Amino acid sequence: AQTVTQSQPEMSVQEAETVTLSCTYDTSESDYYLFWYKQPPSRQMILVIRQEAYKQQNATENRFSVNFQKAAKSFSLKISDSQLGDAAMYFCAYRSALVTNFGNEKLTFGTGTRLTIIP
């Protein structure tokens, strides 16, 4: 079974600075997807960024980028130029790329990192 570990329950960063959230995972599969989700207070969880395991290039979405180290099974999220609206709970998640007739679309999440932005 796959597991996802987020070792930082809480992080804080000064506005306009850069912060990196850590995530490690364990799997025996070679093909999979990794995600970072953001859940602002009392709001829907939204997808921030995704990475396909077969791609060597790290994914980037505006101020959000990842450092994907497949051999080390590490998937960190870097937020540049932090803004007040980035304050949220961030969840790292894993999904197998193997989809069978019986499903296997489930996401496996970590415990989350609460990010606080200091004005």
Partner 1 sequence: EAGVTQFPSHSVIEKGQTVTLRCDPISGHDNLYWYRRVMGKEIKFLLHFVKESKQDESGMPNNRFLAERTGGTYSTLKVQPAELEDSGVYFCASRSTGEPFYEQYFGPGTRLTVT
Of 85 and 105, CB closest to partner 1? 105
Work out how close the CB of 101 gets to partner 1 at its nearest, in angstroms, rounded to a whole number.
Answer: 9
> 63 or 106, CB closer to partner 1?
106
Applying CB under 8 A, the residues found at the interface with partner 1 are 4, 33, 35, 37, 42-47, 50, 91, 93, 95, 99, 102-112
Closer residue to partner 1, CB minimum distance, 82 or 91: 91
Residue 104, SS3 per DSSP: coil
Task: Note whether 49 and 55 are within 8 A (CB).
Answer: no
Distance between CA 36 and CA 90 in Å, rounded?
A: 7
Q: How far apart are CA 57 and CA 101, in angstroms?
A: 30
